[in-house]
Amino acid sequence: MLREESLRSYFLNNFSLMQYHNYSLHELESMLPWERKTYISLVAKHVEEENERIRQQKEKSSSDRAIKKRMR
């Protein structure tokens, strides 16, 4: 468990997985190290994709506003 992950990272990851991704502490503590690493990687990838989608949405929204402003 803590060989690849510092104690601080362990608690921060647990908190994030419980708070934002609906894992229970029991589920997290019952995972094998390779399972935990896999799930953390999958969640991190999902978060990156969501952040990228939001960024693109904001860019599109801002460019749409700029076009509408020029059309006035």
pLDDT digits (tens, 9 = 90+) for 50-70: 999 999 999 988 887 777 777
- Residue 42 CA to residue 68 CA, distance in Å, equals 39
Q: Which of 46, 17, 19 is CA-nearest to residue 29?
A: 17
Tens of each residue's pLDDT in the chain, 72 residues: 556 678 899 999 999 999 999 999 999 999 999 999 999 999 999 999 999 999 999 998 888 777 777 776
pTM, rounded to two decimals:
0.71
